Chain A
Amino acid sequence: MEEQGGVRAGGPGARSSATAALARAGAPAIVVADELETRYRSGDTEERVLVLGVLDRIAAEHAAPDLVRSVGIDLVRDALRTNDPRLVAAAMGPFAGRHLGDHDWRHGVVKLVFMGVPLAGVARLDERADDELARMAEDLAEEREAAGRPIPDDLRALLPADASLEKGR
């Protein structure tokens, strides 16, 4: 039986104990970055979600955060390319809120709207929502309206204040 720190591999608690090891204080940035990347790339979806979830804390706590940050951005962009709402939602957490570039971040927000995932989980949404995101939301709402499809509340909330769309639905 393969064991890691007394926890059965693949058994309950294994993922969180493995991912907790990532936070080991004092490890050089390159080790931490490599560990994050390996955990993510070789992990299943649940483990990837956990890795995405610890990125922000690790980047914040590490003394030399640049390398950790750049690996984190690669992993977030990878997760944003998937079609799995669990990964996309996890990718748009606090780490992306702080470090992901505006272009990718806006696409992440709109992707969640497409997936029907509530935007309540998007870190720093109010702070980062800008005119360009409002413009994207308005274009999307226009398409939905032309198609005779409803405009979800989360999308409506992103619209510019002066949006000329029919408001009633």
Chain B
Amino acid sequence: MRIFDPHIHMTSRTTDDYEAMYAAGVRAVVEPAFWLGQPRTGVSSYLDYFDAITGWERFRASQFGIRHHAAIALNPKEANDPRCREVLPELDRYLRRESVVAVGETGYDSMTPEEDEVLETHLDLAKRHGLPVVVHTPHRDKKHGTQRTLDVIANSGIAPELVVLDHLNEVTVDLVAERGCWMGFSIYPDTKMDPQRMVAILQRLGTERMLVNSAADWGRSDPLLTAKTGRAMLEAGFAEAEVDHVLWENPVAFYGQSGRLDVTPLPGFELGGEAELFEGNSILRGAAAVPVTAAAATVTGAN
């Protein structure tokens, strides 16, 4: 099983997680910018964070054979803090980075006028940069929030196939399905969505435009829930090709729209399960731990 986790916050995770993810089949991830649990109070901590998820974290992932790309945005919660909103003019230069394949995560937290404005700005940036957008749907007042998000997306004129609405559930998925946007599901140990409920949604609506992620972060979460969902799909009678479609081909197609996605095996990991062992240690060291090369072939366009 090869897995692309299209939404995971690896800065909150340990190297044990990277090892376990690789062993479970994870070969690529996208890390959308989000908040840190403790609200930021200014631009500079934001910029350091963007540099971390496009720099150090990408390197860290590469040491474990996992391709790492980022999505960049001002988090919806922090969109409400005028001190953080100052980061908006800085986004352009990050959205030009090779490691950045999307704008995100943006969307609503409390559905304030400030959040409206920042969501519109993000959609505009995505259009100008020709990038996909990861849109978080709110925890509170989710149905209203999803509806309002879809309206803002429609008004922005962005192509629906460039947009994923994430953290969907049984109640909100149908609203999104009929608009042509991608549908994202965060599989959590106790809230949001679990593997069995995910399988039921896939049985009902099929596998097209479906993205399954762990959204693992500093909260109670599990970076292996993508793999567990794949197994639950197989147990429910889905074919391996269908599992591959959801867990690999779909995220490749979605983020491939950026023209920047590289999901080729990292140097030293070409043989999948075997070659990563380096002197009996699964952590690559020294010269072998060179980060992603620009020369590697890129996957472009939706397939």
**Interface on A for B, CB 8 Å cutoff?**
41, 77-78, 80-83, 103-104, 107, 110-111, 114, 136, 139-140, 142-143, 146-149
Contacts and interface: CB of A to CB of B under 8 A. Distances in A.
B170 A143 contact: yes
B39 A142 contact: no
B81 interface: yes
Interface stretch (B61-69, B86-94, B139-147, B289-297): B139-147
Contacts of B41: 41
Interface in B123-149: 139-144
A148 to B, nearest CB: 7
Interface residues of B, dominant DSSP = loop
By CB atoms of chain B within 10 A, which of A80, A114, A139, A149 has the most? A139
Interface of B: 37-39, 41, 77-78, 80-81, 109-112, 139-144, 169-171, 191, 193, 197, 219
A81 B80 contact: yes
Contacts of B193: 147
Contacts of B81: 78, 81
Contact of A107 (B140, B143, B191): B140
Q: Which interface residue of B38, B78, B140 has the most chain A CB atoms within 10 A?
A: B140
A136 B141 CA distance: 6
Contacts of A83: 37, 219
Nearest to B170: A146
Given A107-B110, A139-B144, A146 B171 contact: yes
A104 B111 CA distance: 9
